[in-house]
A and B are shown apart, each in its own frame.
Chain A
Amino acid sequence: MTALTSLTLKGALEGLKNKAFSAVELTTAHVAAVEAARPLNAFVLETPEKALEMAAASDAKIAAGNAGPLEGAPLGIKDLFCTQGVRATACSKILGDFKPPYESTVSANLFGDGAVMLGKLNMDEFAMGSSNETSAFGPVANPWKIKGGNQTLTPGGSSGGSAAAVAADLCLGATATDTGGSIRQPAAFTGTVGIKPTYGRCSRWGVVAFASSLDQAGPIAKTVEDAAILLTSMAGHDPKDSTSLDVETPDFASFVGKSVKGLRVGVPKEYRVDNMPAEIDALWEQGVAWLREAGCEIVEVSLPHTKYALPAYYIVAPAEASSNLARYDGMRYGLRAEGRNLTEIYENTRAQGFGAEVKRRILIGTYVLSAGYYDAYYLKALKVRRRIAEDFDRAWEQCDVLLTPTAPSAAFALGERTADPIAMYLNDVFTVTTNLAGLPSISVPAGLDAQGLPLGLQLIGRALDEGTVFAAASAIEKAAGFKARAERWW
């Protein structure tokens, strides 16, 4: 039975089509894997009955010749997505036992294409974090451990549960979201593939909002091709989301394996940061070499405002979040605390319901928007944001895709970076730029570090050019030949 959970999504879909096994068999295997993997704490809610129901329905559809593109594929859904009748918490206490009477557009797209839901995945509270350590349900354990070591490592965040579940073969893919790197960094930490598409490619309707102008849904998967298949299903114009792009969704899988001969690959010099670990730098060089061998033209480019992306992000995101999270007030759903009057109930509900990191960001966000500070902070950050976007615009004159490392380190130990918020924020240094500019970017596992931990490389493309991103990513994937899997300790 373990063979079934080792399949890629593509492999499993083929197996179902060839009747090598049934959807129920496939889901049963994954349900068992999920149960056995509770020490990882990747799932905050398992939905085995529902999964088997959905799998049975998929078998019927397959038999009738009506199979959808994802028919029978068991997936995990990040708990930031509202799933009809199934609890959604954003891994916060404040949502209590909230059961959405509606389905997010992205998850509806996946289930409409035949996918099966195994359960809801752990994450940093309200997607605020880079290590899944702020979750109200406790941290997630990275399936990867240091060679010969026993310390529990973080899978990254905020989509830590999604990345860990895919890396541990608990599901054939997972939904995730990325506001500052929350898909790509966990993918890099767990040896999986994660893509944040162009802003507006996937609908935000039904996804609990963190920072509206930065949030994007995307898949975490085992291979570039799997990620492409999932993204094709997840994406699409949604008239219920005013920021959803009214564009056709290409068949992204068709770009996987496409020749990258003649593609101009930009290497932004500002991504070589101070104190950059030598191994990561070396892997980056290796990536350049791989692409050169594949026929790409390598160009050094400059993105001069790179270092200001993080501080700009840590103004814009908390500002938007402080407003988006105002609706969590105990009046219409979720936790309601005690208090002697309305103000006390608001204040106690939110003090008890929100964790420390969320509170910190709400306070910062409230502060930077407040009278007297708006121009100096928020407006300034938005102007810097435009400068960052302009940097990319200029770069696209010289290249078609950019290659950078995904994260400034491999996975670190739980508790290692929780003392200083800024130390945690620095995890996002290579990723936040594309959230600010709205560009598609992917992390591909490219190698292991000396301690046996996975490292990822990031490819960044022009807006709406996920095709080139997938093509370049699959070239890296092919050249890297990353076959390593986390050794099962659970």
Chain B
Amino acid sequence: MAVDAATVRKVARLARIAVPEEQLEPMAGEINGILQWIEQLGEVDTDGVEPMTSAVAQALPLREDLVTDGACVDKVVLNAPKTADGFFIVPKVVE
């Protein structure tokens, strides 16, 4: 499963990270090196094994339907690059 420059371009777009053209090939090389190293996982027999998504053996806790949070606009927009009247101002989105 070799990754090429085109794949890196696609993945970078999915991840919203700009990668300059000239870096696509070297990045593909790095990623391929790592993926190749990871290939050895194929040696492990995992037939019928349940994937382990969590290291916690506990039921998912549930909370009561009470309003215990929010009403803190100032905190919410405190660090925003651009705000007005409590809104976040972001670049124009074209639908």
Contacts and interface: CB of A to CB of B under 8 A. Distances in A.
Question: Are A and B associated in one complex?
Answer: yes
Interface of A: 96-99, 101-102, 199-200, 213-214, 239, 242-243, 245-246, 305, 307-308, 311-312, 314-315, 322, 326, 329-334, 336, 339, 341-348, 350-351, 354, 359-360, 362-364, 366-367, 370, 373, 376-377, 379-387, 389, 420-422, 436-438, 463
Contacts of A387: 44, 46, 49
Q: Which 3 A-B pairs have the closest CB atoms?
A: A438-B55, A382-B51, A333-B79
Where chain A touches its partner, the secondary structure class is helix
B6 interface: no
A200 B56 contact: yes
A278 to B, nearest CB: 26
Contact of A360 (B27, B57, B72): B27
Contacts of A342: 90-94
Contacts of B17: 347, 350-351, 354, 359, 362-363
Contacts of A389: 52, 55
A280 B95 CA distance: 60
A344 B19 CA distance: 11
B14 A245 contact: no
B41 interface: yes
B29 to A, nearest CB: 11
Contact of B92 (A101, A341, A370, A381): A341
Contacts of B49: 383, 386-387
A384 B44 contact: yes
Interface of B: 1, 3, 7-8, 11-19, 27, 30-31, 33-35, 37-38, 40-44, 46, 49-58, 60-61, 63, 72, 74-82, 88, 90-94
13 contacts: A200-B58, A245-B58, A311-B38, A311-B40, A326-B16, A332-B80, A333-B80, A339-B91, A359-B17, A366-B14, A366-B15, A376-B1, A421-B34
B53 A381 contact: no
B76 to A, nearest CB: 8
Nearest to B47: A383
A345 B51 CA distance: 37
Given A99-B79, A308-B40, A385 B19 contact: no
Contacts of A312: 41
A119 B19 CA distance: 35
A308 B37 contact: no
A351 B3 CA distance: 20
B18 A351 contact: yes
B53 to A, nearest CB: 6
A329 B16 contact: yes
Given A99-B79, A364-B31, A242 B91 contact: no
A383 B51 contact: yes
A181 to B, nearest CB: 15
B46 A308 contact: no
B1 to A, nearest CB: 7
